[in-house]
Amino acid sequence: MGAVPRKAIGAGEAVIAAAEPVAIRRRRTQAERRAEAESRMLSAAAEIVAEKGVDGLTLAEAGERAGYSRGLAGHYFRSKDELLAAMAEAIHDEFTQQRRERLRGTSGLARLVATIDASFARPAVGLTKMRAYIAVLMGAAHKPALAEAVATFNRDSATEFGRLIASAIEAGEIRPDIDARTQALILSAALRGIMAQWVLDPEGVDLAGIRAEFLGLVSRSLAATPIPT
Amino acid sequence: MGAVPRKAIGAGEAVIAAAEPVAIRRRRTQAERRAEAESRMLSAAAEIVAEKGVDGLTLAEAGERAGYSRGLAGHYFRSKDELLAAMAEAIHDEFTQQRRERLRGTSGLARLVATIDASFARPAVGLTKMRAYIAVLMGAAHKPALAEAVATFNRDSATEFGRLIASAIEAGEIRPDIDARTQALILSAALRGIMAQWVLDPEGVDLAGIRAEFLGLVSRSLAATPIPT
Amino acid sequence: MGAVPRKAIGAGEAVIAAAEPVAIRRRRTQAERRAEAESRMLSAAAEIVAEKGVDGLTLAEAGERAGYSRGLAGHYFRSKDELLAAMAEAIHDEFTQQRRERLRGTSGLARLVATIDASFARPAVGLTKMRAYIAVLMGAAHKPALAEAVATFNRDSATEFGRLIASAIEAGEIRPDIDARTQALILSAALRGIMAQWVLDPEGVDLAGIRAEFLGLVSRSLAATPIPT
Amino acid sequence: MGAVPRKAIGAGEAVIAAAEPVAIRRRRTQAERRAEAESRMLSAAAEIVAEKGVDGLTLAEAGERAGYSRGLAGHYFRSKDELLAAMAEAIHDEFTQQRRERLRGTSGLARLVATIDASFARPAVGLTKMRAYIAVLMGAAHKPALAEAVATFNRDSATEFGRLIASAIEAGEIRPDIDARTQALILSAALRGIMAQWVLDPEGVDLAGIRAEFLGLVSRSLAATPIPT
DNA sequence: AATGAATGAGACTTCATTCAT
DNA sequence: TATGAATGAAGTCTCATTCAT
């Protein structure tokens, strides 16, 4: 239970020490240590949120599970709300990063399909991160600290999807008689609904099967001409 | 598990009423008092959950907001978990009731459309109930007390949707090359996702527009022949 | 667990009804029912005290375990303290009754031995009653409601033992160079200590063996001439 | 189980102290603060138990009476049960310590007498501690948290007494026709019974007189040859 | 920088007690 | 008489937060 503390600092640092002034080296090291500690605590926080929900997160447990003291998370993030917001952003960044990699070099309808695929691929990152993400999305309803972050997520997602659809319409690959903005919201909401269902019951939900049906559904519904799945 | 037992009042009592009015009056009144208190506390609980999430619910506030003492909710529903479960069941019952009324006399694809329409009509019941419902669905991930109830909701919903689609396929109104079970899950998850999006931002989400677009999407995707929207 | 409710009133009462005026018959029956209910609740209270200590006793549980409603014990005994006091007295009365029977027809040293024997025989009444008795004795330290009752017990016990020893001294069966009052206290305290040890660990304490050793100890210590055990 | 872990402070620190006074000073002070708070709360707990019994003890009062906040006792001893167990152990340790000091350099029957004397001397520690000790012994019947500790006390006491008697028998100072184990239990139970009687009514029980009478009783009963009182 | 000591608030839960029926 | 509805007070336990070291 709990992560293994890795506070030991590798001996390799001494090598760099010669090249840089002592004061600098120290600040570097401190900053690095801080960055690592923060990152470990954000991961720990995500784990906890995945297990117990946003209200189940405590500063002390985040610190301990990351291998530090009960007080450190409070020391870095000052308050639970700030820890939550930071954690939400970290997860979202990770997801965004992944989607970008998948979209590289695509365009039009293929890009829309790749985007959907990116959603279905997310679980590969791990059930834990996904669970925490869903918890954050829903927590926005009650936690002002999350509301802002989630509003941003939604705006980004809507814009992205909307742009995708609009450009696919322009390319003549998607029927022009639909409302891009509304369709974007539907698609994004549907994907989130499916992911929520999956994290609730990973065994009972066959993501691969759903992905296929979902892509078929989208293609029949949106494509100006059928896509070969 | 489930709600606190309510002494069922047999219908036969009316007959005796003439002979022993006082005794009956007494029992009636006690039972009524209890039933009313219970129902008011369930409503209050839903309000609170809508505002603050499942973890924000407290027995004391449920009692007070219903107009009683801080202790009464704890007295009836022995624990917060039981209150939550009872509340979840009450909301689900209400929704089920509404859907049943809407479905009366329909069949085939029209029945599927009516079911979807029932989902979009739910908000009429009130943003509060819907918010509470969504909170309960998501809360199942962390609260064992809700997990059981929600598992039942999901089973029911899947069965219902699946049957609808299957029977519409038999009727030749839905294309036979889809997997009824998977489509049922997708539809139900999509509707939940849309509702979640709506409760998060009621102003920013145009439900009527979404409904139209969603029905179009479903018709194009599932119908053996186009539905006139 | 818990007693079986016996609220049914036997049919035989109708027979008596003819012989006595209605008002009388009712009061009789009521009084009897009340007496039975009280007695059943006192027994239930003793059970609960034996299991959970004097602070673990609750009016509601006493009522329910006796087969009545949660409210009845409060109705009869008005408060927890009164119930405790009544229970203490009931147990003491029972023990006193038993001792009296054992002492019938004895005198002198034999009477002292019989009294000691009565203590060792008490467990036959049941571990439960004994446990409750010990709990009451100790509870006197903190519960004013019990202090009075226990003070009486102690006075009675000291008087009784003291008289026994004094009369045995007069009869020349006990050495005259001891202080009767102090020896009485020692004997009574020792017996209680042994019983306390027994109720804490009935399996680990061999009462029969202790009885033999204890009688030997007393005889060697007190008797003017050795008693044949 | 048992007491909250206390950071042991190595004796070696004094050596380092010269080199790094500040760091040591800091750690010292933290540890000392904790140790003092803990010890004060254990004392406060004993006071409360003496006054109100084991069930009358509350974490909040233990904290407050020790001069800290209502929450601190709960912070250190995670639960009431653990506080009780720690308190029991602390008292027992204190008593054991005292007995050991009294027994130094004794052997045979004199050692047995010294042990009994230690019991009668305990009250010198204070009525409060003694009351708390008795309450703990009896509380073992209902509080699993105490049962374990008390079982240990009993085992220790029985072993100790048994060994004493056995060795006095070997030394020819105690008659060989008694059962050492049973006599040990009787003596220990009798002493506890006497102490219980005393804490219930310190005014009414003349410990000095009882001590004399009790030693006489033991000597006449056990000694191979009379002891000069 | 990092730890953890200490506070105080709040939630759950359990009851004694009072009251309505 | 008997039931049980309703209140309000504790008590346990868990945290966010602040502060000393």
Is residue D8's pLDDT more than 50? Answer: no
Q: Percentage of chain B surpassing pLDDT 70?
A: 85
Instruction: Extract long-range pairs of A1-5: CB within 8 Å, 24+ residues apart.
Output: A2/A64, A2/A65, A2/A67, A3/A40, A3/A44, A3/A65, A3/A66, A3/A67, A4/A67, A5/A67, A5/A68
C179: nearest CA in chain D?
Answer: D213
Determine the Cα–Cα distance for residues D205 and D199; give it in Å rounded to an integer. 9
**Cα separation, A91 vs A44, whole angstroms:** 12
A190: nearest CB among B134, B154, B190: B190
Band (pLDDT 50/70/90 cuts) for residue D124 is: confident
Cβ–Cβ gap C196/D192 under 8 Å: yes
- Give the confidence band of A32 by pLDDT, cuts at 50, 70, 90: confident
Residue among D140, D186, D193 minimizing CB distance to C210: D186
Nearest chain B residue to A181, by CA: B210
Pairwise CA distance, residues A143 & A125, whole Å: 25
Report the C-alpha gap between D73 and D45 in whole angstroms: 10
* CA-based nearest distance A5→chain B, Å: 27
Instruction: Look at residue B28 in the predicted model and tell me its pLDDT.
Output: 55
Residue A203 touches partner B, C-beta closer than 8 Å: no
Does residue B11 carry a pLDDT above 70?
Answer: no
Q: Which nucleotide is nearest to D25 (CA to C1')?
A: F21
> A80-229 falls under which CATH superfamily?
Tetracycline Repressor, domain 2 (1.10.357.10)
Cα separations in angstroms, A72 against A61, A80, B69, D177: 10, 12, 40, 68
Task: Give the pLDDT confidence score for residue B31 in this predicted structure.
Answer: 78
The protein residue nearest nucleotide F9, judged by CA to C1', is: B71
**Element of type H or E holding A172:** none
What's the mean per-residue pLDDT of chain B? Answer: 84
pLDDT cut 90: percent of chain B above it? 67
For chains C and D, tell me whether 3 or more CB atom pairs sit within 8 A of each other.
yes
Q: Give CA torsion, residues A49, A52, A53, A59, to 10 deg.
A: -50
pLDDT for C34 equals 84
Residue C63 CA and nucleotide F4 C1' are separated, in Å, by 12
What was the pLDDT predicted at A5?
Answer: 40
Q: How far is D27 from chain C (nearest CA, A)?
A: 42
> How close C109 gets to chain D, by Cα (Å)?
17
pLDDT, tens digit, for every residue of B59-105? Answer: 999 999 999 998 899 999 988 999 999 999 999 999 999 999 999 99
Name every chain C residue with its beta carbon within 8 A of the beta carbon of D213: 178-179, 182-183, 186
pLDDT at A225: 62
Give residue-wise pLDDT tens across range C15-72. 333 444 445 455 557 778 888 999 999 999 999 999 999 999 999 999 999 999 989 9
The answer for residues whose C-beta is within 8 angstroms of residue D211's C-beta and 6 or more apart is: D116, D117, D120
In terms of pLDDT, which residue wins out, A7 or B204? B204
More confident position, D78 or D226: D78
Say what the pLDDT of residue C28 is: 59
Q: B16 vs B202, which has greater pLDDT?
A: B202
Q: Which residue of B has its CA nearest to A178?
A: B213
Q: CA–C1' distance D29–E1 (Å)? A: 19
Give the pLDDT score at D223: 82
Answer whether A158 touches B (CB < 8 Å).
no
Question: Residue D206: is its pLDDT beyond 80?
Answer: yes
Q: Is the dihedral of CA B62, B64, B68, B72 positive or negative?
A: positive
Distance CA D137, CA D130 (A): 11
With beta carbons less than 8 A apart as the criterion, state whether C167 and C108 touch.
yes
Rounded to whole angstroms, the Cα distance separating C95 from C137 reads 14
Average pLDDT of C115-129?
88
Mean pLDDT of chain A: 85
CATH topology of domain C79-229: Tetracycline Repressor; domain 2 (1.10.357)
Residues 26-65 of C with CB under 8 A from D: 51-56
- Please state which of the ranges B172-181, C120-129, D220-229 shows the lowest mean pLDDT: D220-229
Locus of tokens 């912070």: D75
pLDDT band at B124 (very low <50, low <70, confident <90, very high): confident
**Which pTM value belongs to this model?**
0.81
pLDDT in tens, D144-199: 889 989 999 999 998 999 999 999 999 999 999 999 999 999 999 999 999 999 99
Q: Do residues D102 and D121 touch, judged by C-beta distance below 8 A?
A: yes
Q: What is the pLDDT of residue C225?
A: 62
Q: Note the pLDDT tens digit of each residue in B18-32.
A: 334 444 444 457 778
CB pairs below 8 Å between C and D: how many? 139
| Tokens of residue C31, six digits | 């009084």
Q: Average per-residue pLDDT in chain D?
A: 85
- Could you tell me if D67 lies within 8 Å of chain C, comparing CB atoms? no
What does the pLDDT average to over B27-51? 85
Answer whether residue B171 shows pLDDT above 70: yes
Q: Where are the domains of chain B?
A: 13-222
Nucleotides of strand E under 7 angstroms from a protein beta carbon: 1-19, 21
Per the prediction, chain C carries an average pLDDT of: 85
- What's the mean pLDDT in C176-198? 95
> Which chain C residues are Cβ-neighbours of D226 within 8 angstroms?
none
Within its chain, how far is the Cα of A165 from the centroid? Answer: 22
Q: Which one of 3.30.420.40, 3.40.50.1970, 1.10.357.10, 3.40.50.300 gives the CATH number of domain D13-222?
A: 1.10.357.10
Cβ of B127 under 8 Å from any chain A Cβ?
Answer: no
From residues 44-83 of B, list those within 7 angstroms of strand F by Cβ: 63, 68-72, 74-75
Name the residue in chain C with its Cα closest to that of D208.
Answer: C182
pLDDT higher for C224 or D46? Answer: D46
Task: Kindly determine whether residue A205 and residue B185, on different chains, have CB atoms separated by under 8 Å.
Answer: yes
What's the length of chain D?
Answer: 229
Nearest residue to nucleotide E7, by CA–C1' distance, is D69
φ, ψ of residue B174 in degrees (nearest 5): -120, 140
C142 touches strand F (CB under 7 A): no
Strand F nucleotides within 7 Å of a protein CB: 1-19, 21
Torsion of CA A195, A200, A206, A212, to 10 degrees: -20
